[in-house]
């Protein structure tokens, strides 16, 4: 009780604080420096997982300082770093960090204008100080820096109401929502980015404050509507992944869980493209042979990302990640291609064109042995694309033959592939409405004819036989229906049932 009463009185700076620089700290102290507790106003708690603030409450909400009309007069600009001796700069740095822990309401641009400008100028000074640092950051500096970043960045993201959140991704004319507080947020992000990548930041010491909880909350911010914020988060997380090896499994697992929730529950997340961009760099650095954990991530998370309707928002980054896996381990190409076929769109022609483009990149990295495992179901799908009434789908599928590596794979297996796609080629050349598709089809036919004239002739003969049989069956069907109509007409007055003794011929599916 006495401690609570005494805690309400302002503390005077102790003389011992003047003698010992704030930058000094023990290398293995179990608790944060006492100066950190005095400067922050929060009581940090060190647990086995790292630093937290209070009983699970989010920094930036609840007990954080917020300027209002009653205390704004105390918010004044501190002296510049060049105006104080070198021995006092660390002390001044901490004071400026504490000053920047005050947050403002940016919904009203006219409120606290002077105080907002003071904080902005202070943040800019902090950025310059971190960028020009020439000695290792102390523990108290790391503590106060992460506290200030937490107070400013970790907040509840607000999403504007939309009638249909899923379809909203497909509207190119939708302008992104810009955070009105970006005037300060941008400088905080810049400060933290420079702090992370600074050679003066000791990773072993900093991981006490940039802990698992801190990293997970950074990942939560990727759902921000503001693309500028997501861009900064991408750069920061990439450097955190590179600098703090202890966080790497946590980051990969958290991204994995984000993808699961997006694919199977919400289909709504603003940062999928940025997360995939980070993963592209991570996958590029995977050691060979690939771990089973990484292969499972490909199968369970990356390939199912082809399912959502809004794939256009992140397909370029997804395709790069998938291709990286195939280039590292060519044996994965069969798994990837069959995964693409599983999620192949049926009625979405725009998505189908994207799939065909990705398929070309995958086939370019595919070896003949893996190609032979999946070529039958693959070219059944390509045959359907060749006959698509949407000219871009048909055209994009015909462009596959412009790739020398793919053309070589097809020629090596033409005895299997040509019978599958020959009927589609014939239908295109004889009846497709688009002239460009017809012209490209004739070029592909010529490639097959020049490569193996005997095979081409045999396929043409079987196609003509199938067409003749189909025509014969159609005539039989028409004759049967005509006979039924005649019998029905003759017995219409008697009300007698009409019995048909012959089975109607089924239409041939060979063509």
Q: What is the rounded distance in angstroms from the CA atom of residue 448 to the CA atom of residue 454?
A: 10
Task: Look at residue 114 and tell me if it is in a domain.
Answer: no
Task: Look at residue 408 and tell me if it is in a domain.
Answer: yes
Q: Residue 495's pLDDT band (boundaries 50, 70, 90)?
A: low
Which of 382, 259, 253, 364 has its CA nearest to residue 314?
259
- 331: pLDDT strictly greater than 90: yes
What is this structure's pTM? 0.76
- 49: pLDDT strictly greater than 50: no
User: For the ranges 26-30, 185-189, 497-501, which has the lowest average pLDDT?
Assistant: 26-30
Q: What is the rounded distance in angstroms from the CA atom of residue 327 to the CA atom of residue 117?
A: 51
φ, ψ dihedrals at 315, nearest 5°: -65, -35
Task: Look at residue 65 and tell me if it is in a domain.
Answer: no
Task: Look at residue 413 and tell me if it is in a domain.
Answer: yes
Task: Look at residue 72 and tell me if it is in a domain.
Answer: no
Q: What is the rounded distance in angstroms from the CA atom of residue 360 to the CA atom of residue 404?
A: 11
- Please, what is the average pLDDT of the chain? 82
Neighbours of 509 (CB within 10 A): 7
CB-neighbour burial class of residue 100 (10 A; exposed 0-12, middle 13-18, buried 19+): buried
Task: Look at residue 357 and tell me if it is in a domain.
Answer: yes
Q: What is the rounded distance in angstroms from the CA atom of residue 12 to the CA atom of residue 174?
A: 54
Q: What is the rounded distance in angstroms from the CA atom of residue 428 to the CA atom of residue 407?
A: 19
In whole angstroms, what separates CA 475 from the centre of its chain? 55
Q: If you average pLDDT over residues 271-296, what whole number do you get?
A: 94
DSSP string, 275-317: HHHHHHHHHHTPPSSPPHHHHHHIIIIIGGGGSSTTGGGTHHH
Which of 240, 184, 188 has its CA nearest to residue 214?
240
- 502: pLDDT strictly greater than 70: no
pLDDT digits (tens, 9 = 90+) for 199-225: 999 999 999 999 999 999 999 999 999
Q: What is the rounded distance in angstroms from the CA atom of residue 313 to the CA atom of residue 219?
A: 19
- 38: pLDDT strictly greater than 80: no
pLDDT digits (tens, 9 = 90+) for 447-466: 999 999 999 999 999 999 98
Task: Look at residue 461 and tell me if it is in a domain.
Answer: yes
Q: If you average pLDDT over residues 368-392, what whole number do you get?
A: 95
CB-neighbour burial class of residue 348 (10 A; exposed 0-12, middle 13-18, buried 19+): middle
Q: What confidence score (pLDDT) does residue 503 get? A: 54
44 secondary structure, DSSP code: E
Higher pLDDT, 3 or 90: 90
Number of domains in the chain: 1
Q: Residue 497's pLDDT band (boundaries 50, 70, 90)?
A: low
Write the CATH number for 466.
1.25.10.10
Q: What is the rounded distance in angstroms from the CA atom of residue 133 to the CA atom of residue 154?
A: 26
Q: If you average pLDDT over residues 233-249, what whole number do you get?
A: 95
Task: Look at residue 422 and tell me if it is in a domain.
Answer: yes
Which residue in this structure is represented by tokens 């053309």? 407
Higher pLDDT, 420 or 51: 420
Q: What is the rounded distance in angstroms from the CA atom of residue 465 to the CA atom of residue 422?
A: 13
pLDDT digits (tens, 9 = 90+) for 88-129: 888 888 999 999 998 888 888 788 888 889 999 999 999 999
Which alpha helices (DSSP H) does 173-247 contain, by range?
Answer: 182-197, 203-206, 212-220, 227-243
Q: What confidence score (pLDDT) does residue 9 get? A: 42
Q: What confidence score (pLDDT) does residue 28 get? A: 37
Q: Residue 351's pLDDT band (boundaries 50, 70, 90)?
A: very high
pLDDT digits (tens, 9 = 90+) for 71-80: 444 567 787 7
Instruction: List the domain range (segments joined by +) for residue 366.
Output: 330-489
Q: Which residues lie closer than 8 Å to 370 by C-beta, 6 or more apart?
A: 330, 331, 333, 334
Q: What confidence score (pLDDT) does residue 500 get? A: 57
Q: What confidence score (pLDDT) does residue 485 get? A: 86
- 143: pLDDT strictly greater than 70: yes
- 420: pLDDT strictly greater than 70: yes
SS3 382: helix
């Amino acid at each position: 009780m006495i401690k609570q009463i005494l805690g309400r009185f302002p503390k005077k700076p102790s003389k011992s604080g003047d003698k010992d620089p704030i930058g000094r700290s023990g290398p293995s102290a179990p608790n944060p420096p006492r100066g950190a507790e005095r400067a922050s106003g929060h009581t940090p708690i060190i647990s086995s997982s790292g630093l937290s603030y209070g009983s699970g409450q989010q920094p930036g909400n609840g007990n954080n300082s917020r300027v209002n009309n009653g205390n704004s007069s105390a918010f004044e600009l501190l002296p510049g770093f060049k105006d104080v001796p070198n021995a006092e700069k660390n002390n001044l740095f901490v004071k400026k960090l504490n000053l920047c822990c005050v947050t403002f309401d940016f919904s009203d641009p006219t409120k606290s204008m002077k105080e907002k400008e003071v904080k902005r100028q202070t943040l800019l000074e902090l950025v310059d100080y971190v960028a020009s640092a020439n000695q290792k950051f102390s523990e108290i500096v790391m503590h106060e820096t992460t506290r200030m970043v937490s107070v400013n960045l970790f907040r509840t993201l607000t999403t504007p109401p939309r009638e249909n959140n899923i379809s909203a991704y497909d509207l190119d004319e939708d302008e992104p929502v810009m955070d009105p507080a970006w005037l300060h947020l941008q400088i905080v992000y810049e400060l933290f980015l420079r702090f992370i990548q600074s050679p003066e930041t000791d990773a072993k010491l900093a991981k006490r404050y940039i802990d698992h909880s801190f990293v997970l909350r950074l990942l939560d911010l990727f759902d921000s509507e503001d693309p500028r914020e997501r861009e900064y988060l991408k750069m920061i997380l990439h450097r955190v992944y590179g600098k703090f090896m202890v966080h790497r499994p946590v980051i990969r697992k958290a991204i994995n869980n984000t993808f699961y929730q997006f694919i199977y529950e919400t289909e709504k997340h603003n940062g999928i493209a940025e997360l995939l961009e980070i993963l592209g760099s991570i996958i590029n650095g995977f050691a060979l042979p690939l771990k089973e954990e990484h292969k499972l991530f490909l199968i369970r998370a990356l390939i199912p990302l082809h399912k959502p309707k809004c794939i256009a928002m992140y397909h370029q980054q997804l395709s790069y990640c998938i291709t990286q896996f195939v280039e590292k381990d060519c044996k994965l190409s069969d798994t990837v291609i069959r995964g693409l076929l599983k999620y192949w769109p049926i009625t979405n022609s725009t998505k189908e064109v994207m799939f065909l483009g990705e398929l070309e990149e995958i086939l370019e990295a595919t070896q003949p042995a893996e190609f032979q495992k999946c070529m039958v179901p693959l070219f059944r799908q390509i045959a359907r694309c060749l006959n698509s009434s949407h000219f871009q789908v048909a055209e994009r599928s015909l462009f596959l033959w412009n790739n020398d590596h793919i053309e070589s794979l097809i020629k090596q297996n033409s005895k299997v592939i040509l019978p599958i796609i020959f009927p589609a080629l014939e239908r295109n050349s004889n009846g497709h409405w688009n002239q460009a598709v017809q012209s490209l089809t004739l070029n592909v036919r010529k490639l097959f004819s020049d490569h193996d004239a005997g095979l081409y002739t045999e396929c043409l003969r079987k196609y003509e036989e199938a067409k003749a049989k189909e025509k014969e069956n159609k005539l039989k069907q028409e004759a049967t229906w005509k006979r039924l109509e005649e019998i029905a007409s003759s017995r219409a007055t008697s009300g007698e049932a009409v019995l048909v003794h012959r089975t109607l011929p089924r239409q041939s599916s060979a063509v």
